[in-house]
Amino acid sequence: HTIGLVTSNLSLHAPSQIAAAIKIQASKLHFNVVISMIEQPDMNACKNAVNSLLSQRVDGLIVNIPLEDEQAAAITEMCGNVPALFLDVSPQLDTHSITFDATTGTHLAVDHLVMQGHQHIALLSGPLNSVSARLRLEGWQQALVQHQLTAIAQLQGDWSSLSGYLQTLSLVSSGVTFTALLVANDQMALGALRALNESGLAVPGQVSVIGYDDTEDSACFIPPLTTIKQDFKALGEISVDTLTALIHTAIRPVNARVLPVTLVERKTTA
Ligand code: IPT
């Protein structure tokens, strides 16, 4: 039996840790995994990847590419009888999906900062053509409003640490005073830490930073990163278990499952 995995760029930490977790769980269940990677999110590339996996006769597909509702529906349609499970779509979508609870994640981060007395909070979002990046940005904004606050600045990166570095440098040089920075993933937070360090701003003395993901390296950043944990090992296990169950049944009621997230408090917030 074979599972097809269509994934975003594996040079990013989160997709690579998800792919590893999928591979490990699939091996336990004696399934092969065939991977098709897309460098940049792009619907045509995604369709080609799905077609190539289908022509290799995979029994089911896991799709970890950011997709809009219509795009995920089109992929499901293409798959016909082969079940497809989506990891980066809106949790509201009527399809087989497993996603993380972005509302809770973003509210945990904002509440943590506000409890520490922060009022001048800047946002560094992911690329807004990604559903998850938009959900995180909207979640932060809603949570700020609940505390009668609005973001003091809003920047956008592309998930890479370099973009986090460059965006944070531009934030610092804009002259806006901020005491905390919410970052949409740990890799951009890594770049932000370098930019703050080079600008002579102490973390957490002058600026607090919160990441998102809790990928494996984040505990070893300087200082160790406070972040929102998305449990990628659990995601890998649950996706493989869910997909293999779908493969083995003819009746497949749609199940959009949302996994919990937690705040991991380390040394970048005070
Ligand atoms: C999402 C990560 O949180 C982000 O850091 C980035 O790597 C992105 O993937 C790449 O697509 S996690 C995904 C399951 C929404």
Mutate to test the pocket of ligand 1, among 63, 132, 216, 230 (most ligand atoms within 8 A of CB): 132
The band of 250, judged by pLDDT with boundaries at 50, 70 and 90, is confident
- Helix runs in the chain, H state only: 13-28, 43-55, 69-79, 102-115, 131-146, 161-173, 186-198, 232-247
| ipTM > 0.95, yes or no | yes
Residues with CB under 6 A from ligand 1: 8, 12, 14-15, 64, 66, 87-88, 132, 159, 185, 213
Calculate the CA 121 to chain-centre distance.
21
Tell the CATH superfamily of the 102-229 domain: Response regulator (3.40.50.2300)
Element containing residue 123 per DSSP (H, E): strand 121-125
Q: Which residues contact 240 (CB under 8 A, 6 or more apart)?
A: 3, 22, 25, 26, 29, 31, 62
Cα separation, 55 vs 96, in Å, equals 22
Q: Tell me what pLDDT residue 188 has.
A: 98
Question: Does domain 2-100+231-259 match CATH 3.40.50.2300?
Answer: yes
Q: Tens digit of pLDDT for each residue in 127-160? A: 999 999 999 999 999 999 999 999 999 999 999 9
* The pair of three-digit structure tokens given for residue 132, joined into one six-digit string: 């998850």
Cα separation, 83 vs 61, in Å, equals 6
**CA 72 to centroid of ligand 1, rounded, Å:** 17
Mutate to test the pocket of ligand 1, among 213, 218, 229 (most ligand atoms within 8 A of CB): 213
- Give yes or no on whether 2-100+231-259 and 102-229 have one common fold: yes
